Structure 1
């Protein structure tokens, strides 16, 4: 059962019970008070008439034959009736007198009622009851009177049919009021239930949309009550979920980037390793050349081992505080040239290296990855000649890589360092490119306090420059 139906049914049950109980108590108490008043009035009437009757009988005890009770009693009541006393003359108030034989000897009822006092417990001092006599209802007070050796039973009655009719009228009127109130109650409870369950339904719908992936879903807050507070808590929860999903998505993307970048960075070193291994295997080399080739293989293997951890720190943990060491720039660039030798020989590309001796502060593994990426892009650009230069300019050591390949369109130069961006997508797919090399190279350049500078003419080639802080230069020059 839905909440709307539960609220509606509970409210209507409570309203119906409250109205019924209050109506019952109101009508019952009103009727009881009216009957009590009529009963008291009848009791007062009984006592008054009893007093008058006893007094009159006392005065007549020597004037009447004691064996004939009818004459003095009838005479007494005739006298009392002639005095227009209360209880004998007012409408709806009646008396009857019964002899010891319980037969009626005097009555003011408009007709002789079918009434038998033998049905009552005459041993009680006074009997007080409500009886239906004919089509009327009466409050009856019956008592035994003994005076001067004479015994009679006095019955006083008050017609309370008007009270009964009033009670029935109250029941009818209250029934009308009850159903009208219930009708209005149904309308009000439906409105109240709709106001109460409306925000809950909206919240349920919003929660369903969040469950289907719409994490930006929010509720409008219209009040400061409990529902308003619940809406605010829902919005806070949705924001937390959205942030957590964004974090998880970012973490997943970082892991994907790491895997893609690491796979990308494996190609050039593996080409170098395979090239030098093939050189050792295919050609008879001197011991010195063999040692050099083995040294390159070992160097690339150790670099790849260290590079995997550093790429994890850089891409997944977004670490920037790598330790930079002072290294001779010319030896570093020569090492890169030696690493590229098998790749360049395989592609029949002429390579030129021109360096000036100086010291620069770099992370060896990351910086070598940066330069290998730049040379690899030059190779993929269809270059026949590639040059790697290192020169001192002002207070910086500028490393440049130039090629005579396809070049880059001027309107795309600003975007080439974006992750997964590829100038020629079809060519990059054929060469198994993912558009990650320059994005990673740009991050590494930032770690070294520098940035990549591109100059390119479409169809003629590209030059990439990387200025680094100079730690010392001109050594041995």
Structure 2
């Protein structure tokens, strides 16, 4: 059962029960009060009739010699009826007198009324109760009249049908008011239930959209009550979910980037390793050449081992605090040239290197990866000549790589360091490129406190350069 239906049914049950109980109590209280008042009035009227009868009996005893109380009362009531004194009773409808033997002496009650004084407890001083006479309600009052040692019973009946009619009228009026109130209540409860459940429906819909992947979904907080607090907590939960999803997505992307970058970085050193291994296997080399080739294979193997860990730190953990060491620039460049020898030889590319001796502060594995990526891109650009220049510019050591490849247009040069961006996608796919080399090179340049600068002319070639603080050695040019 939906919450709206529960609220509606509960509210209507409570409203109906409250109205019914309050109406019942109000009507019964009013009815009882009216009956008490009418009973008291009937008692007063009984006393009034009794007083008139006793007064008339005393007068008759003074004027006549009659001593029979029954005769005196009969004469008194007849006299009162002849003089229309019963009108003084103000509402008394019937009067009856019974002898001590419960025989009727005088009565104005209907002749067909089966009335028995034995139905009353005549030992009580005065009795009153409500009876039905010919379909109308009366308060009957019975009491004893004692005079000159004789006793009779006086019975009066006062019409209170108006009280019964008033009660029935109140019941009818309450029924009308009840149904009108219930009708208004239904409308108000529907409005109230709708207003109360609308935020919950919106929350349910928002939860469904979040479940469908729209993690930016939020609720508008329109109140400070419990619903408003629930909306705030829902938004906090949604923000937490969005943050966790972003973290998980970012972690997955970082791991994917690591795998892609590491696979990308395997190509050049593996080419070098395979080239030198093939050279040792295919050609008869001198002891010295064999040691040099093995040294390059060992160096690239160790670099790949260290590079795997550093790429993990850089890409997955976003580490930036790598330890930079002072290294001789010429030896580093010579190592790069040796690594590239098999690749450049296979591609029949002319390689030129001009390096000024100086000391620079770099991470050997990462910086070598940076330069290898730049040269690898020059190879992929269809170059026939590549130059690696290391020179001193004022207080900086500037490293430049130039080629005579296809070049890059001005509108694309701003995006070439974006991950997975490729200038010539068809050529990159043929060469198994993924658009990761320059993105990784840009990150490594940031770690060394510098950035890559590109100067390119389509159809003529590209120059990529970066500047590092000069740590010592060399002569400024």
TM-superposed deviation, 1:30:
0.6
Match of 1:122 in 2: 122
Match of 2:33 in 1: 33
1:242 aligns with 2:217: no
Match of 1:176 in 2: 176
CA displacement 1:67-113 (0-9 Å, x = unmatched): x5542221233355567667754234432111233232112447663
Q: Quick one: distance in 1 between partners of 2:26 and 2:222?
A: 42
Correspondence 1:327-366 to 2 at 5 A:
327-366=327-366
Match of 1:321 in 2: 321
Q: Quick one: distance in 2 between partners of 1:3 and 1:92?
A: 62
Match of 1:167 in 2: 167
Q: Quick one: distance in 2 between partners of 1:154 and 1:282?
A: 150
3-state secondary structure, aligned to 2:414: helix
Is the contact made by 2:92 and 2:156 (CA closer than 8 Å) also made in structure 1?
A: no
Q: Quick one: distance in 2 between partners of 1:276 and 1:92?
A: 138
Match of 2:107 in 1: 107
Match of 1:151 in 2: 151
3-state secondary structure, aligned to 1:238: helix
Relative to structure 2, which stretch is displaced further, 110-119 or 83-92?
83-92
Is the contact made by 1:353 and 1:389 (CA closer than 8 Å) also made in structure 2?
A: yes
Unmatched segments (≥5 aa) in structure 2: none
Q: Quick one: distance in 2 between partners of 1:22 and 1:28?
A: 10
Match of 1:194 in 2: 194
3-state secondary structure, aligned to 1:94: strand
Q: Quick one: distance in 2 between partners of 1:396 and 1:251?
A: 37
3-state secondary structure, aligned to 2:337: helix
Match of 1:424 in 2: 424
CA displacement 1:270-314 (0-9 Å, x = unmatched): 111122222222222222222222222221111111111111111
Q: Quick one: distance in 2 between partners of 1:34 and 1:412?
A: 101
Q: Quick one: distance in 2 between partners of 1:319 and 1:87?
A: 116
Is the contact made by 2:354 and 2:390 (CA closer than 8 Å) also made in structure 1?
A: yes
Match of 1:133 in 2: 133
Q: Quick one: distance in 2 between partners of 1:157 and 1:323?
A: 119
Is the contact made by 2:86 and 2:92 (CA closer than 8 Å) also made in structure 1?
A: no
Relative to structure 2, which stretch is displaced further, 91-100 or 209-218?
91-100
Q: Quick one: distance in 1 between partners of 2:284 and 2:231?
A: 79
Q: Quick one: distance in 1 between partners of 2:467 and 2:149?
A: 146
Q: Quick one: distance in 2 between partners of 1:36 and 1:111?
A: 29
Match of 1:415 in 2: 415
TM-superposed deviation, 1:212:
0.8
Match of 1:305 in 2: 305
Match of 1:206 in 2: 206
Q: Quick one: distance in 1 between partners of 2:168 and 2:92?
A: 19
Correspondence 1:364-375 to 2 at 5 A:
364-375=364-375
Q: Quick one: distance in 2 between partners of 1:415 and 1:122?
A: 119
TM (normalized to structure 1)? 0.93
TM-superposed deviation, 1:364:
0.3
Match of 1:4 in 2: 4
3-state secondary structure, aligned to 2:433: coil
Relative to structure 2, which stretch is displaced further, 141-150 or 415-424?
141-150
Match of 2:448 in 1: 448
Q: Quick one: distance in 2 between partners of 1:136 and 1:467?
A: 119
CA displacement 1:204-255 (0-9 Å, x = unmatched): 1112111111122222233333333333332333233223222222222111
TM-superposed deviation, 1:119:
2.3
Q: Quick one: distance in 2 between partners of 1:211 and 1:344?
A: 53
Match of 1:229 in 2: 229
Is the contact made by 2:264 and 2:437 (CA closer than 8 Å) also made in structure 1?
A: yes
Relative to structure 2, which stretch is displaced further, 359-368 or 137-146?
137-146
Q: Quick one: distance in 2 between partners of 1:134 and 1:142?
A: 19
Q: Quick one: distance in 1 between partners of 2:450 and 2:338?
A: 25
TM-superposed deviation, 1:354:
1.6
Q: Quick one: distance in 1 between partners of 2:105 and 2:118?
A: 15
1:380 aligns with 2:380: yes
1:291 aligns with 2:288: no
Q: CA RMSD in A?
A: 2.3
TM-superposed deviation, 1:65:
6.2
3-state secondary structure, aligned to 1:270: helix
Match of 1:271 in 2: 271
Relative to structure 2, which stretch is displaced further, 391-400 or 217-226?
217-226
Is the contact made by 1:58 and 1:147 (CA closer than 8 Å) also made in structure 2?
A: no
TM-superposed deviation, 1:163:
0.7
Match of 2:19 in 1: 19
Inter-CA distance 94–44: structure 2 relative to 1 (3 Å threshold): same
Q: Quick one: distance in 2 between partners of 1:112 and 1:92?
A: 19
How many correspondences in the alignment? 475
